A and B are shown apart, each in its own frame.
Chain A
Amino acid sequence: MSGRVLEAGLHLLDRQLVDADGRLAGKVDDLELEFPEGGGPPVVTAILAGPGALSRRIGGRAGAWLEAVANRLRDGDDRRPARVSFGVVKRIESAVDLSVPKADLETNRLEAWTRDHLIGHLPGAGDAPE
């Protein structure tokens, strides 16, 4: 084997995503794999993150509740979890470093919603330093 060898559950799942500015951007909750067009074994094409992805790993009623939360944040009926294309992964070490800022990521939805609909309405919320 010429390339680096990883075990997905051990080295990737539950790892912290860190954006280009060093900010925390979610966790690796699942991986998306696709069969390449020219044939051959599947390759990892994206990291899936957030409640929509985690709900499938948890299962049961807790998972169903999480999935409902994820769907609440989505426009329309699209049931995709937040997807981070592997094209923006820079490096996998103890965390997964990304080459883009978190604002560019779908994983930002939950945090943005929470900020806008919950935290933003608290007195003094506008005074918080960045």
Chain B
Amino acid sequence: MRLSDLLGADVVDQAGRRAGHVHDVRLVQDGPLVGAFGASLRLDGLLVGRRGIGARLGYNRRKMHGPLLVKLAVGWLFHDGRYVDWDRVRSVEEDRILISGSVDDLGQPSPSS
């Protein structure tokens, strides 16, 4: 599987409701040991949201230092960001990721740093 298979994919629950698109994936360095790097990067979950613009700029991370007006505007734009733990992923299809349960019980991402 490649990262590019996940990024941009539509996230859908089993009732067909959409949570949005995958903006990014969270990796945690606690997997099996690999070479000089140490613990490998384990796929922890998916950062999902409806709006595509600006997510790659990093503005949707909580601890953003910046002008207050920018932070407020961007905070509003990305308030619907959700986190999908990897163990809720049922299948990864072409452009679509099916998750268990309902999109309504997806939580918000915790701060990553």
CA distance A3 to B40 in the complex (A): 10
Q: At the interface, yes or no: A71 with Cβ under 8 Å from chain B? A: no
Do B2 and A2 have beta carbons less than 8 Å apart?
A: no
Total interface residues on B, CB under 8 Å, equals 33
Contacts of A87 in B (CB 8 A): 34-37
Do A43 and B56 have beta carbons less than 8 Å apart?
A: no
Q: Give the residue name and chain of the A residue nearest to B57 (CB).
A: A10
Q: At the interface, yes or no: A90 with Cβ under 8 Å from chain B? A: yes
Q: Which of A52-67 contact B (CB under 8 A)?
A: 56-57
Q: Give the residue name and chain of the A residue nearest to B26 (CB).
A: A7
CA distance A44 to B23 in the complex (A): 18
| Known contacts A5-B26, A5-B112, A6-B41, then 11 further A-B pairs from the complex at CB < 8 Å, ordered by chain A residue | A2-B30, A6-B26, A7-B47, A9-B25, A42-B42, A42-B43, A43-B34, A48-B2, A56-B4, A90-B36, A91-B37
Q: How far is the CB of B83 from chain A (nearest CB, A)?
A: 11
Contacts of A6 in B (CB 8 A): 26-29, 41, 112
CA distance A42 to B87 in the complex (A): 11
Interface residues on A, range: 35 or more
Which residues of A does B touch, CB under 8 Å?
1-10, 12-13, 30-34, 36, 40-45, 48, 56-57, 85-91, 99
Do B2 and A30 have beta carbons less than 8 Å apart?
A: yes
Q: What are the nearest 8 A-B pairs in CB distance?
A: A87-B35, A3-B30, A3-B29, A31-B3, A43-B31, A9-B24, A44-B41, A4-B29
Do B37 and A43 have beta carbons less than 8 Å apart?
A: no
Do A41 and B1 have beta carbons less than 8 Å apart?
A: no
Do B28 and A3 have beta carbons less than 8 Å apart?
A: yes
CA distance A57 to B7 in the complex (A): 9
Q: Give the residue name and chain of the B residue nearest to A88 (CB).
A: B35
CA distance A45 to B113 in the complex (A): 23
Do B28 and A4 have beta carbons less than 8 Å apart?
A: yes
CA distance A33 to B86 in the complex (A): 13
